[in-house]
Amino acid sequence: MNFFNVGKYFTLVDMPGYGYRAPQDFVEMVEAYLQERHNLKRTFLLVDGVAGLQKTDHIGIDMLEEFGIPYVLVVTKIDRASKGLLLRNVLEIQEFVKEKTQGCFPQLFLVSSLEFSGVHLLRCFIAHVTGNLPIAETS
47 inside domain = no
Residues in CB range of 109: below 8 A, 6 or more apart? 72, 73, 74, 75, 118, 121, 122, 125
Q: What is the mean pLDDT of residues 113-128?
A: 94
Q: Quick check: 75 and 115 in contact, CB under 8 A? A: no
DSSP reduced 3-state for 47: strand
Q: What is the pTM for the complete model shown?
A: 0.87
The residue among 29, 47, 64, 57 whose CA lies nearest residue 110 is 47
Identify the band that residue 22 occupies on the pLDDT scale cut at 50, 70 and 90.
low
Check residues 66 and 137 and name the one with the higher pLDDT. Answer: 66
* Domains contained in the chain, number: 1
Checking if the pLDDT of 3 tops 90, the result is no
Residue-level pLDDT at 104: 94
60 inside domain = yes
- DSSP secondary structure, 109-139, as one string: EE--TTT-TTHHHHHHHHHHHTTSSPPPPP-
Give the tens place of pLDDT for each residue, 69-111.
999 999 999 999 999 999 999 999 999 999 999 999 999 999 9
3 inside domain = no
72 inside domain = yes
11 inside domain = no
Checking if the pLDDT of 112 tops 90, the result is yes
Domain of residue 103, residue span: 52-129
DSSP reduced 3-state for 22: coil
If you ran DSSP here, which 8-state letter would residue 84 be given?
H
26 inside domain = no
Identify the CATH number of the domain in which residue 64 sits: 3.40.50.300
Check residues 47 and 18 and name the one with the higher pLDDT. Answer: 47
Q: What is the mean pLDDT of residues 41-57?
A: 93
138 inside domain = no
107 inside domain = yes
